Amino acid sequence: MQAVSGLLFSLFALVHLTNTALAVLGADLYNDFQTAARSVYQSPLLEVVLIATLVVHIVSGVLRMRARRGSKASPPLRLRLHRYAAYYLAIFIFGHIAATRLPALLAGAPPFFGGVSFSMHFAPWWFYPYYALLGIAGLYHAFYGIPVALGVVGVRAPQWVRRGPGFWVPVATGAGVIIAAVLAFGGFLYDIDDPFDNDYARAYEAATTYFTGDEP
């Protein structure tokens, strides 16, 4: 169950990480890709299936973790990093989904490039490390997990993508691209539009005012 749910979710995760990487090349490209991809993953049935797949993957992971309790074996570094990435993702993923989807569903204000960029400017001390780690954890978890899951369903990935430079070079390159993307959202790679002048920023600020009574 964990392997199959992981493989299904990774179809979305790879499209989503590719979308994130495109921020390095420009805001319009990021937005155009997201609009096109969204017409698939946000069709009502698929979106429910996506979230259900994620829940099954996390619950089966927690059950397997409990079954391992008491084991004294020290796993190799690659597997330990895979687990740390899983803990980070499990803690933050539902907050991430709520923060990106609720403004769209409740106020018709999906984030697009401007929404992510707004977050970077609204609370930089939180969003730079949070998004960089979210992207890198997702990338690492998928890169390690996909060959393992394929093995479970009987498809053996070549040895060279599972360890050594064939594993570490793409992971390190991908991590570099995620960091560059985060900097692009922050306006460090090219000029960006005013991050506070978009529907997502207005919806977020209106919600902040509603709940705290403070004007932003």
114 burial via Cβ count (<10 Å: 0-12, 13-18, 19+)? buried
Smallest distance, ligand HEM to C-beta of residue 100, A: 4
Over its C-alpha atoms, the chain yields an Rg (Å, rounded) of 18
Nearer to ligand HEM, 159 or 194 (CB): 194
Nearer to ligand HEM, 42 or 60 (CB): 42
Nearer to ligand HEM, 41 or 122 (CB): 41
Nearer to ligand HEM, 73 or 204 (CB): 204
E strand segments, the chain: none
Smallest distance, ligand HEM to C-beta of residue 19, A: 8
Smallest distance, ligand HEM to C-beta of residue 153, A: 20
Burial 53-70 (b: 16+ CB within 10 A, else e): bbebbbebbeeeeeeeee
Closest Cα partner for 127 from 104, 103, 111? 111
In the bound complex, which residue of the shown chain has the CB atom lying closest to ligand HEM? 138
The answer to whether the CB of 151 falls within 8 A of the CB of 144 is: no
Residue 170 — φ and ψ, nearest 5°?
-65, -35
Smallest distance, ligand HEM to C-beta of residue 191, A: 19
Angle at 17 between CA 206 and CA 180, to 5 degrees: 80
Smallest distance, ligand HEM to C-beta of residue 51, A: 6
DSSP-derived 3-state class of residue 200: helix
Nearer to ligand HEM, 94 or 160 (CB): 94
Which residues in this chain contact ligand HEM in the complex, by CB under 6 A? Answer: 13, 16, 20, 34, 38, 41-42, 47, 50, 89, 93, 96-97, 100-101, 104, 110-111, 116, 131, 134-135, 138, 178, 182
Nearer to ligand HEM, 179 or 206 (CB): 179
Smallest distance, ligand HEM to C-beta of residue 52, A: 11
